[in-house]
A and B are shown apart, each in its own frame.
Chain A
């Protein structure tokens, strides 16, 4: 397979697109632009409207309002078979009565291309299934079927490839492998990929841009690292990884905001606060990622450098997971603060019941508007890894 250059194309642009079923709104009016050639992930828990959005791009679902543009072309009213877009379905939806070659050749044949052999062989080579050309789908493993589904869609050189949780049915190891493989294919062919997933790790590994969806709306959109470091809502903070959120009151403003929380004072950079009001006296949610926190035994509290945020507490639980140890700490600032410590030098005193001091660089703290559910997104994480 040689490098595929995009001949015609353009961005996928959704303008005010929405979908309602009766009185239920699956997708609220949504504006979204997927730049050409990017790997874009729609991330959210089940029922958040991500798949519906994808299906509206594919034409499998009719938008209630709004317009779908592909480049400058309005494709809102085109039936799926007229859209230069292909889908990799969650269940793969391979044709059981056709062998792998015919499955992959299906789209080419429908467009009247007679000599498909070379292209099919190349495509099967790309997904490393050359030896399986004459098998039937049911004779393949889940991972192989998944790659056939990718090949069947990619062979048409769509302007956009839509992936509807294509890795959901695979086991963890295979999923990791397929993630890398899909990323490799995307880089190789340069087609726009729109990937729907509920697996935040998958979204972050693969995508250039992630749109986190919740309740039919996009909560936040950005590069994976940006989303992770600067979540703007509690949902994003909790859904994308884990966050410790601590409620507090702003006591002084300046370059750093100082917040009274849990009986102490915690600082955070003003520019990392997304709350609407940062006036003194206002309430705020402070966020800190578990791996950014260091843990010191209470006896060593004096060794902690000055200028760091500190919270005292007591370990209630610890679990050793090899590369790191995860602690749950009870403190005035929160009953279940999560702390991940790399297992470099393990302090044997850090066991459940031990009095500890949590400390971290104030620059790693982010601030969120206090007027939201502090647990949003925390319970709906389906990622069981």
Chain B
């Protein structure tokens, strides 16, 4: 073959003949970014950093409500807390994980539909996705109590279809009941956090250039292969942020476990809540909070590393 010419070199930067200096930005200008950061930083310091330090110190205190607590660097609290409440930890991660997977399975097709097929209905469907937020979180969760109530329509249908037999055998439900079972809690979590999955998924799917689908089709990819090789990999940033936005709050949630579950379905959030507000054992409550935070942080770090989405964005 004949090589005509080397690939065109990028046009050389014209040599600057005179030192046409960019005027040094004034001190005031250079400080502008910091001024803009200030309100946010102040907010975080006062309402996040300081409470965090306070919690940390609480977690290593000993004492009682009557005699007062003092810092004794009693790290044994962590060990005791973990030993006593590890089932709740495992349950939390399990429920949150299941709910996250369910959210992904339910949310992805919907987000895909909104991004590529909804056409002029797109905005309406998006509003519908967010619409539940117009009602309070508690009310929505309480509503599920009615939905899943014994003898209610849902339970009846599931019973007639013998679905409950299967789920009871798996330990998700108990003897023709859905309420006060793990399944109820996972249903509540899935429902409550679904929008947090759909919105980031939608955003990343919507950014995909439709011509890439055409290009893949043109290059012999069937629609299924196009999804597997082009659409899904390109939506990974949405999958990652969606799962994080679902998993992190779900693992610390206690409302769903409290309202839809029973004592056997308590998640770690409920334990922390009751330690703080009922038992008034502040060090244990603080230690539990830190353990949960550490576990979630570790898992998330590992997850982001593994999914390798850094260079995708």
Is the C-beta of A129 less than 8 angstroms from some C-beta in chain B?
yes
Is the C-beta of A352 less than 8 angstroms from some C-beta in chain B?
no
Find chain B residues with CB under 8 A from A174 CB.
Answer: 8
Q: Bound state CA distance, A174 and B7, in angstroms?
A: 10
Per a CB cutoff under 8 Å, which of B7, B222, B233, B234 touches A128? B7
Find chain B residues with CB under 8 A from A143 CB.
Answer: 7-8
Find chain A residues with CB under 8 A from B312 CB.
Answer: 97
A95-B230, A97-B233 known; A110-B219 Cβ under 8 A: yes
Q: Bound state CA distance, A197 and B7, in angstroms?
A: 24
> In angstroms, how far is the closest chain A Cβ from the Cβ of B225?
6
Find chain B residues with CB under 8 A from A95 CB.
Answer: 212, 215-216, 230
What count of chain B residues pass the 8 Å CB interface test? 28
Quick one: which of A128-152 are within 8 Å of B by CB?
Answer: 128-129, 136, 141, 143-144, 147, 152
A81-B220, A106-B219, A128-B7 known; A93-B212 Cβ under 8 A: yes
Q: Bound state CA distance, A60 and B213, in angstroms?
A: 10
> In angstroms, how far is the closest chain B Cβ from the Cβ of A185?
9
A106-B221, A110-B225 known; A80-B214 Cβ under 8 A: yes
Q: Bound state CA distance, A156 and B222, in angstroms?
A: 16
Contact indicator per residue, chain B 204-232, by CB within 8 Å of chain A (1) or not (0): 00000101101111111110010001100
Segment of A83-91, A262-270, A300-308, A332-340 in the binding face? A83-91
A93-B211, A93-B212, A184-B2 known; A129-B218 Cβ under 8 A: no
Is the C-beta of A208 less than 8 angstroms from some C-beta in chain B?
no
Query: Tally of A-B residue pairs with Cβ under 8 A?
Result: 83
Determine if A188 and B1 form an interchain contact, defined as CB atoms under 8 angstroms apart.
yes
> In angstroms, how far is the closest chain A Cβ from the Cβ of B237?
10
Q: Bound state CA distance, A128 and B5, in angstroms?
A: 9
Is the C-beta of A72 less than 8 angstroms from some C-beta in chain B?
no
Determine if B219 and A86 form an interchain contact, defined as CB atoms under 8 angstroms apart.
yes
Per a CB cutoff under 8 Å, which of A1, A85, A89 touches B211? A89
Per a CB cutoff under 8 Å, which of A91, A107, A111, A184 touches B4? A184
A81, A125, A143 — which one has the most chain B CB atoms within 10 A of its CB?
A81
Determine if B234 and A80 form an interchain contact, defined as CB atoms under 8 angstroms apart.
no
What count of chain A residues pass the 8 Å CB interface test? 40
Is the C-beta of B65 less than 8 angstroms from some C-beta in chain A?
no
Is the C-beta of B6 less than 8 angstroms from some C-beta in chain A?
yes
Determine if A91 and B211 form an interchain contact, defined as CB atoms under 8 angstroms apart.
yes
A80-B217, A97-B233, A110-B220 known; A128-B212 Cβ under 8 A: no
Closest to B309 in A: A97
Find chain A residues with CB under 8 A from B7 CB.
Answer: 128-129, 143-144, 147
Is the C-beta of A177 less than 8 angstroms from some C-beta in chain B?
yes
Is the C-beta of A126 less than 8 angstroms from some C-beta in chain B?
yes
Per a CB cutoff under 8 Å, which of A96, A106, A107 touches B234? A96
Is the C-beta of B31 less than 8 angstroms from some C-beta in chain A?
no
Determine if A180 and B218 form an interchain contact, defined as CB atoms under 8 angstroms apart.
no
Contact indicator per residue, chain A 159-187, by CB within 8 Å of chain B (1) or not (0): 00000000000000010010011001000
Q: Bound state CA distance, A317 and B214, in angstroms?
A: 49
Quick one: which of A66-121 are within 8 Å of B by CB?
Answer: 79-82, 85-87, 89, 91, 93-97, 106-107, 110-111
Per a CB cutoff under 8 Å, which of B1, B5, B214 touches A60? B214
A93-B212, A141-B10 known; A80-B4 Cβ under 8 A: no
Closest to A185 in B: B1
Determine if A81 and B209 form an interchain contact, defined as CB atoms under 8 angstroms apart.
no
Find chain B residues with CB under 8 A from A86 CB.
Answer: 218-219
> In angstroms, how far is the closest chain B Cβ from the Cβ of A231?
33
Closest to B236 in A: A97
Closest to B7 in A: A128
Determine if A110 and B4 form an interchain contact, defined as CB atoms under 8 angstroms apart.
no
Is the C-beta of A58 less than 8 angstroms from some C-beta in chain B?
yes
Is the C-beta of B3 less than 8 angstroms from some C-beta in chain A?
yes
> In angstroms, how far is the closest chain A Cβ from the Cβ of B29?
31
> In angstroms, how far is the closest chain A Cβ from the Cβ of B137?
36
Q: Bound state CA distance, A126 and B2, in angstroms?
A: 9
> In angstroms, how far is the closest chain A Cβ from the Cβ of B5?
7
Closest to B213 in A: A93
> In angstroms, how far is the closest chain A Cβ from the Cβ of B116?
15
- Starting from the known contacts A60-B217, A143-B8, A188-B1, 11 additional A-B residue pairs (CB-CB under 8 Å) come to A1-B1, A80-B218, A81-B217, A89-B215, A91-B209, A93-B214, A106-B221, A107-B220, A141-B10, A174-B8, A184-B2
20 sampled A-B residue pairs with Cβ under 8 A: A58-B218, A59-B217, A59-B218, A60-B214, A80-B218, A81-B217, A81-B221, A82-B220, A95-B212, A97-B234, A128-B7, A129-B7, A136-B311, A141-B8, A147-B7, A152-B219, A156-B219, A177-B8, A181-B4, A184-B4
- A-B pairs with lowest CB-CB distance, top 7: A93-B215, A107-B219, A110-B220, A80-B217, A93-B211, A87-B218, A81-B220
